[in-house]
Amino acid sequence: MSAPDPSRGPSVRRVPDGDSLPRLVCPDCGYVAYENPKIVVGSVCLFDGKILLCRRAIEPRKGLWTLPAGFLELEETVMEGARREALEEAGAEIEIQDLLAVYSIPRISHVQLIFRARLLSPALAPGPESEEAALFAWDDIPWDTLAFPSVAWAIRHHREVMEETGGASGFRPRTNPPGEFGNY
């Protein structure tokens, strides 16, 4: 009998014993490589009633506007990740206030955690993933050029919360609008 080939690793898709879904399994040792959704963290950041948006400098949806958001890193809390993304994408220092929404985007296996945040200064400096960062009053939001449906959901949910609570905490976080699953 020859030694297991370490280069093979989890290369066979099958339902492991005791499981109900197909997984990548190593044919030599039985190791199961679980594939799980990616966590995206971001925030709706306000300064003097205006919302921070970033024009994407990368694909997907290059050139369109988004909230500062991105993938959570290993060994990082969700709030640390949201603060880091605002700093990386807009040069923005923010103070996280509350969890605004949890959106499920099953088509691309993403779960998005979006916070309400306060921008500590209007000074912005777009990073390498942003062509531009700017503050928008409600009537000036570029709705037709928002990068993803969840960006519009979050902005609208933020406004709902502000109207319902006057900006106070103690609201129930939002989820996908009925029938919407971020098919973009």
* Model confidence pLDDT, tens digit, residues 100-129: 999 999 999 999 999 999 999 999 999 999
In the DSSP assignment, the letter for residue 144 is G
Domains within the chain, CATH numbers bracketed: 38-165 (3.90.79.10)
140-159 per-position pLDDT tens digit: 999 999 999 999 999 999 99
Long-range contacts at 83-88 (CB < 8 A, ≥ 24 apart) = 85/41, 85/42, 85/43, 86/43, 86/45, 86/52, 86/117, 86/119, 87/127, 88/127, 88/129
Closest alpha carbon to 129 in 45, 43, 37, 67: 67
Name the band, by pLDDT with cuts 50, 70 and 90, for residue 5. Answer: low
pLDDT tens profile 27-86 = 999 999 999 999 999 999 999 999 999 999 999 999 999 999 999 999 999 999 999 999
Answer yes or no: are the C-beta atoms of 153 and 167 closer than 8 Å. no
Q: Note the pLDDT of residue 182.
A: 59
Structure tokens at 43: 């925030």
Q: Could you tell me where the DSSP H helices lie in 50-166?
A: 78-90, 149-165
